[in-house]
Every structure is written in structure tokens, then in C-alpha cells.
Amino acid sequence: MTTLVVCIDRTGDLSGGTDAPVEGRAAVEDLVVDAGVDDPEDSRVNCLLEALRVSRDLEADGDDTRVAVLTGTGEAVSADRAIARQVEALIDEHDPDSAVVVVDSAEDERLVPIVESRLTVDAVDRVVVRQARDIESTYYLLKQFLADEELRKTVLVPVGVALIAYPILWAVASPGLATGAIVAVVGLFLLYKGLGIDAYLERLPGQVREALYSGQVSLVTYVVAAGLALVGVFAGAIGVSATGADSPFILAMRFAFDSVPWLTGAALAASTGRLLDELIQRERVPSAYLNLPFGAIAVGLVIRGFSAFFLELADVFDPFRIRPIEVGPFSFAGVTFEPPGTRLALFIFAGVLVSIVGVRFASYFSRKSIEEELVSRRDKQ
């Protein structure tokens, strides 16, 4: 079995740029001495020595080896063609059964497919100088990173902007403000990328255009939901301004209590529009879409109940009271519930009840649609 052991030198510095392979153990040993004397720190010296070692080990195992150095011409296309011609010349002369390729860099390793296209390659032996292994690995990783345009835009551009903005904020304001602003912007950017907001915003124009052309009901309901959400935020802000408490927690509970009805209406409008689109486009609607409006109402009730409970504990709200009712001959004097948990229990009970109704509603219509589909299939058969 004849094995061709080749060392690739794409730049052609070892052979002086000649378009011919350096062939034979003696010629390669002379090349090692010349290259080592010219530049003892050149990693290609180790590559040549590795080729000689591989050839020696294969011969010890009984293989007939031919060691050679494939050299390029320095230029990209002409160097690759020179390597291809040298491989074909060695194949015509020695008719090897396989080859072992020895390289010392990622640039030379890219030429391995040229050898593989003409001869079976049993192994690729990459030589890295032991003392410089970490340095070289870091170099190639950094080189690959800088070659990726998307990574450059994602990482280098924000870092560059932050480094430019930091001294400007330092000079205009204060070191604390500059540090806090840069950290906040970096945090927002990480959330922007981590949550996939950039991908969503990239798809948003197409989705809006498709909704406009297809006449989806959800487009209108989403606009209504956005308006209701803005009203909810405004109502919550008014409630906070009217509250005399200084505790941030109490202010947050008051904001939640006043804004939750509007936010629940926004979620209800959005989910209803989505449900109508599914009803129009599909014959059978998934149960999740049917249960979504009920879930929005149930969550809103529970959040409003908890916020009211904490506000009642803080004496912002009076105890829960059912007002007097008069209906004809019947009258109800009203009742006041002193325990603060009564209001919370009623809201939780209402939320659970709405959630159960939603689950039953969704399961009923899903089962009904499945039965109708089975009946239609049976009629067709």
C-alpha cells in the first residue's frame, strides 16, 4: 500500500515560488534545514518535521510512503491551481492508494478538499506549536469573528458607541451618571437581542401588510387594544397622583387597581380579534384561542382583587360594603365586611369561576367541532 504524505505550503515561501513539489525524504530534510536556518520561529518548520515523522511511522507499520511538499505561488486562485497540478503530478508518478495531509494553519487546511477531490485522504494532521496553542486558537477565533458581518454589527458597533458616549457623558454630567447610563443602555440592548425583539420588529411590517391585504379583524382589535392600554396607563397614573401614600409598593398597587380594568379590556379585545380571525380562516379553532378571552378576564379579576386587598390593609380603601338595594316590596339594608380578605376572596372566586367557564366553553366547542368533522368524513366515505 502506497501512502502519499504531503505538507501544504500555500504561500510558496519554502520553495521560492516554484511551481513544482518538493519530493523525497532527502529533499524535504534539506528544506527543513534551510527553512529553519532562515527563520527558526517559522511554524512551517514544525510542519515539515511532522510530515517526516508521519512518513517514518507509516513505514514502520509496513506502508510504502512518499513524502512531498506542495507549494503555491502566493496568489489565491493561482496558488490553488498550482497545488492541484502538483497533486495530479504526484498521482501520475507514484499512483498512491491514499494520502495523509499535514498542515500548520487554517489557511492551508482550506486546500485539503483539492487533495480529496483527486485522492483518498485518510487523515489530516494539523500541527500547532505547543507553546503557542492558546495564542493561535485565539487568533483564529478572533479572525473568524471579525469575518462575520452580522456579529460585527451586533457586538462591535454597540461597544464602539458605548466607548464613545462614556467620556462625553463623563465630561458633560458626572462619572456616576455616565456609568449608570452606559450600563442601562447595554442592559436594554441585551434584552432587545435576548428576547428576540429585533426579529419581531423585522417581521412586524410584513405582518401588518399581510393583515391589511387579507382584511383580518385582529388588526382593528389590536389598535383598539393599544388604545385601551394607553387609557389604562393614564388612569393608573391619575390614581397614583391622587393617592397620598409615600410607599412605592402602595403606589404600585393603586396603579394596578386603576389600570387593570382597562388593560383587561385591551387583552380581551386583542384575544377576541384573534379568535374571530381563526373562526373565519379555519373550520376548527384550537381550544387555546377559545379560552384566551376568559383567561384574560380571570387574570384581571385576580390582580384587581389582590391590589384592592393591599390597599384596604393600608387604609387607602374603606372596608368592602354591599350597598342597600330596594326592588319593589323587597329591600336589602346592605352589609359591610370588616375582614380585609373578603374582597380578595370574592375576586378570586370570580376569577376561578370565569376560568372554569372558559375551559368548559372551549372543551365543548372543540368536542363539537371534532364530532362534526367525524360525521362529515363518515358521510364522504
pLDDT of residue 231: 92
By mean pLDDT, which of 41-45, 136-140, 310-314, 315-319 is the weakest? Answer: 136-140
Amino acid at 267: A
Residue 329 pLDDT more than 60? yes
Q: 13 or 241: which carries more pLDDT confidence?
A: 241
Query: Average per-residue pLDDT in the chain?
Result: 78
Report for 11-20, 35-44, 58-67: range of highest mean pLDDT? 58-67
Q: How confident is the model at residue 273 (pLDDT cuts 50, 70, 90)?
A: confident
Residue with cell 497545488: 83
pLDDT of residue 47: 86
By mean pLDDT, which of 62-66, 95-99, 334-338 is the weakest? Answer: 334-338
Residue 31 pLDDT more than 60? yes
By mean pLDDT, which of 29-33, 64-68, 280-284, 321-325 is the weakest? Answer: 280-284
By mean pLDDT, which of 98-107, 262-271, 312-321 is the weakest? Answer: 312-321
Report for 62-71, 238-247, 281-290, 330-339: range of highest mean pLDDT? 62-71
Q: Where are the alpha helices (DSSP H) in 282-381?
A: 287-313, 341-380
Q: How confident is the model at residue 230 (pLDDT cuts 50, 70, 90)?
A: very high
Mean pLDDT, residues 23-49: 84
Q: What are phi and psi of 103, to 5 degrees?
A: -130, 165
Mean pLDDT, residues 14-21: 62
Q: Contact at 8 Å (CB) between 52 and 24? A: no
Residue with cell 396607563: 233
| Residue 339 burial (C-beta neighbours within 10 Å; 0-12, 13-18, 19+) | exposed
Distance CA 324, CA 322 (A): 7
Mean pLDDT, residues 228-247: 85
Q: 356 or 281: which carries more pLDDT confidence?
A: 356
Residue 289 has, within 13 A of its CA and on its CB side, a CA count of: 17
Q: How confident is the model at residue 375 (pLDDT cuts 50, 70, 90)?
A: low
pLDDT of residue 286: 63
Q: 294 or 12: which carries more pLDDT confidence?
A: 294
Is the four-CA dihedral 61, 101, 42, 13 of positive or negative sign?
positive
Residue 143 pLDDT more than 70? no
Residues 6 or more apart whose CB falls under 8 angstroms from that of 170 comprise 178
Residue 41 has, within 13 A of its CA and on its CB side, a CA count of: 2
DSSP category for residue 130: G
By mean pLDDT, which of 12-26, 111-125, 200-214, 315-329 is the weakest? Answer: 200-214
- For residue 92, which of 64, 58, 119 has the smallest C-alpha distance? 119
Residue 138 pLDDT more than 80? no
Mean pLDDT, residues 107-127: 85
Mean pLDDT, residues 201-227: 73
